[in-house]
Amino acid sequence: MRQLTLNKEYSSVENYRRLIDCFIKELEEDSNKNRQKILEICHVGKFLMFFENKLQIEKFLEEPDFIIANDNIRIGLEHQILIDKKSKETEGFFANLCELAERELRKDENLPNFLANIYTNPYFIGKINEKHSEDSS
């Protein structure tokens, strides 16, 4: 098991980075493909911060998703996001729209680098069948 030097001398951010960095680095080579696993590692790292540096990720797998350990124990951890289904659908709808917009903007090589902020009407209810892409226009 890899030994981490996590202690109160470091900031919370530094301790958090020490928990996850070695696992993130190997997944960043193909971050689009590994986006979900990277997100899971970040979630588990945040969760482990509650244990005051007593536990760390030993390795990540498929089942269970993670082995969490200290010197004496090993725990299998299955990562699960608990969220309201309707909220998750709405989040997915907007994430998908943003990805489509980004793809369209990247096609124009004359556009400079810029930051785009998106604000939505809080009463807007989006549905997948109302979304238009290049293929369906």
Residue 16 domain flag: yes
Total of domains in the chain: 2
Residue 1 domain flag: no
101, 88 contact by CB (below 8 A): no
60 and 108 fall within a common domain:
no
104-132 pLDDT tens trace: 988 998 988 888 888 888 887 766 555 55
Structure tokens at 33: 């493909």
45-81 pLDDT tens trace: 999 988 877 889 998 888 899 999 988 899 999 998 8
Domain that includes residue 41, residue range: 12-77
Residue 134 domain flag: no
End of a domain among 77, 99, 116? 77
Residue 93 domain flag: yes
90 and 109 fall within a common domain:
yes
Residue 66 domain flag: yes
94 and 48 fall within a common domain:
no
79-94 pLDDT tens trace: 988 888 888 888 888 8
Q: Alpha carbon of 21 to those of 15, 26, 69: distances in Å?
A: 10, 9, 17
19 and 54 fall within a common domain:
yes
17 and 64 fall within a common domain:
yes
72 and 97 fall within a common domain:
no
- SS3 category, 113: coil
